[in-house]
Amino acid sequence: MSPSREAPEDQVDTSDVGGLGEIIPDPLIPVWRRIERIQSFRETHGNTYVTALEALTAIALAVGYVWWVYLYFYGGAVSL
């Protein structure tokens, strides 16, 4: 590429690009607004949100494991 020509990326104006909202059909706009709200929530509270979900998952797995151990050792004997 010669130095006098601009790169293709420089020839395109990307200053006012709005994302997929511009090409979503009108009947799907309410669904798209919901997705945008979720994305903005994740951008704002992403780390806290993930940490909370990891904590809830860990608690649920621990409770499930304790329940399994209880049933294994103290559950009623099943005779076949």
Helical ranges in 1-80 per DSSP H: 8-11, 29-74
Residue among 59, 68, 22, 21 nearest 40 (CA):
21
The band of 65, judged by pLDDT with boundaries at 50, 70 and 90, is very high
Mean of the per-residue pLDDT values for the chain? 82
- Pull the structure tokens for residue 39: 């994305």
Residue-level pLDDT at 14 = 66
